[in-house]
Every structure is written in C-alpha cells, then in structure tokens.
C-alpha cells in the first residue's frame, strides 16, 4: 500500500471486533512511526500501550467518571470555547453523520450520551495507546505529536489495523496517569483506539467529507 492510498483509506473507526491485536503487530506499527520528524529531533512522544485487564480497569474508571459527571481535567484546550464558522457547521455535520448512521435522533439524548460514553472505552477496541509529553516542552511538541499520531495511523492502515484518534481519552488525565503509574507531571496529549474494524457496524459505514484543495489553499508566485 502506498502513502496516498493509506491516506485516503484511513478513517476513524468506532466499533471493533474481538480479534486480538498481537504485540508484534503493534511493535511493527510503532517501529515505522518512530521515523516521524520532530523539531530538533526532540522525539517528544512517550507511548503507553494498554490492553487486557489493565484496559478493562481503565475503561471502568473512565466510564465511571463520565457517568458521574466528573469535570474533565485536560491539560490544554482541544476545542474552542466559542465555535465560529465554518468550524461550527463542520462539527454539526460530523455529529449528524455519526448519529444518523446509528439511527439516533437529535432528541434522543439518552442514546447520544451512551454513544459518547463509548469514547471512554476506546470504542471497545482491544488496544488503546496513550500519548504523553514532558511538561517542560513547548507548544511545538504538540505539532510533533500530531505528526507522530498520523504516522502511527498510516502504518496501522498498511497493516490492516483500524484506529481512532481520541482527544476524549485525555479528558480524565489524572485517572489515566494514576492507574498506569505515570508521573503526575506528564502531559496526556491524546489516546488512540486500535484494533480490527467491525465492518458490519453501522457506525463504521459513513465517511466525513473533506474540503477541496482550492478551498483551503492560496498559491503565490
């Protein structure tokens, strides 16, 4: 598979089969992604691979916090506090696509909450990766981590492995760090669900649109 095909094939998968993902495949994916570029070769990413019983306990802890209405404690603002156009409309369209695929109406707040809760189980994927950086680093490290995450997802696509990058998994950073024994000062950037796609799941049957090159690019000669 070439890079262009991987870019166009990759999608955010929100339902996985129970087929396990072995450590050798995960290592192969990370071994490819470690070649991602970073400012002055800082390589700021620190990855925790969570599976099995540890993931089950983490799913319960994060899901419990969400159900109990515990306030999120992200180290940074992923989304704007006030949504402006065109981002507001794109966000709305994205949500409508997902809920539409699941047959969830706009008035069904209960099922919407259930679907949102699935975020904190990494959509029942067998593997979840957590990405941390050192608190001493600057904002540029977030850019490096974004490049690294894309590299992981593209390498996973080549291996036939599905993924979903999740900012939601960083909402309860203290819970994640405590359960995994991660140094409290570390910054949790994001999580990444990883496994094999359930191709029969309706939630995996839609694709979000992308803007044309002409809509976001200006050429200067």
115 found inside a domain: no
pLDDT band at 147 (very low <50, low <70, confident <90, very high): very high
> What's the average model confidence in pLDDT over 175-195?
97
Residue 136 belongs to what domain range?
A: 9-78+120-204
Centre a 10 Å sphere on the Cβ of residue 157 and count the other Cβ atoms it contains.
21
Q: Determine the pLDDT at residue 113.
A: 87
> What's the average model confidence in pLDDT over 195-211?
95
> What's the average model confidence in pLDDT over 36-56?
98
Centre a 10 Å sphere on the Cβ of residue 138 and count the other Cβ atoms it contains.
11
89 found inside a domain: no
CATH label of the domain that carries residue 165: 3.40.109.10
pLDDT band at 106 (very low <50, low <70, confident <90, very high): confident
94 found inside a domain: no
Computed over every residue of the chain, the mean pLDDT equals 95
Encode burial over 186-213: b for 16+ CB neighbours within 10 A, e otherwise: bbbbbbbbbbbbbeebebbeeeeeeeee
Judged by DSSP in three states, 197 sits in strand
pLDDT band at 83 (very low <50, low <70, confident <90, very high): very high
213 found inside a domain: no
191 found inside a domain: yes
Judged by DSSP in three states, 163 sits in strand
Q: Determine the pLDDT at residue 73.
A: 86
Q: Residue 65: pLDDT above 90?
A: yes
> What's the average model confidence in pLDDT over 160-179?
97
For residues 120 and 38, give the distance between their C-alpha atoms in angstroms, rounded to a whole number: 29
Q: Residue 107: pLDDT above 90?
A: no
> What's the average model confidence in pLDDT over 138-164?
97
127 found inside a domain: yes
pLDDT per position as a tens digit, 25-44: 999 999 999 999 999 999 99
141 found inside a domain: yes
CB 203 within 8 A of CB 101: yes
152 found inside a domain: yes
How many domains are contained in the chain? 1
Q: Determine the pLDDT at residue 171.
A: 96
0.75 cut: is pTM over it?
Answer: yes
């Amino acid at each position: 598979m070439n890079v262009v095909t991987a870019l166009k094939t990759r999608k955010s998968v929100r339902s996985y089969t129970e087929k396990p993902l072995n450590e050798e495949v995960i290592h192969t994916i990370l071994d490819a992604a470690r070649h991602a570029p970073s400012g002055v070769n800082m390589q700021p990413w620190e990855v925790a691979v969570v599976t099995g019983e540890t993931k089950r306990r983490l799913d319960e802890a994060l899901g419990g916090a969400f159900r109990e209405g515990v306030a999120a404690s992200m180290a940074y603002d992923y989304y704007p506090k006030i949504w402006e156009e065109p981002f507001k409309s794109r966000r709305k369209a994205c949500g409508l696509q997902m809920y539409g695929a699941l047959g969830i109406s706009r008035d069904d707040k209960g099922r919407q909450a259930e679907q949102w809760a699935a975020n904190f189980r990494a959509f029942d994927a067998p593997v979840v990766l957590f990405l941390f950086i050192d608190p001493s680093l600057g904002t540029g490290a977030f850019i490096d981590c974004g490049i690294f995450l894309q590299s992981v997802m593209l390498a996973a696509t080549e291996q036939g492995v599905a993924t979903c990058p999740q900012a939601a998994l960083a909402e309860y950073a203290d819970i994640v760090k405590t359960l995994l024994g991660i140094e409290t000062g570390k910054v949790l950037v994001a999580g990444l669900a990883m496994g094999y796609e359930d191709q029969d799941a309706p939630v995996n049957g839609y694709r979000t649109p992308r803007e044309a090159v002409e809509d976001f690019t200006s050429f200067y000669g």
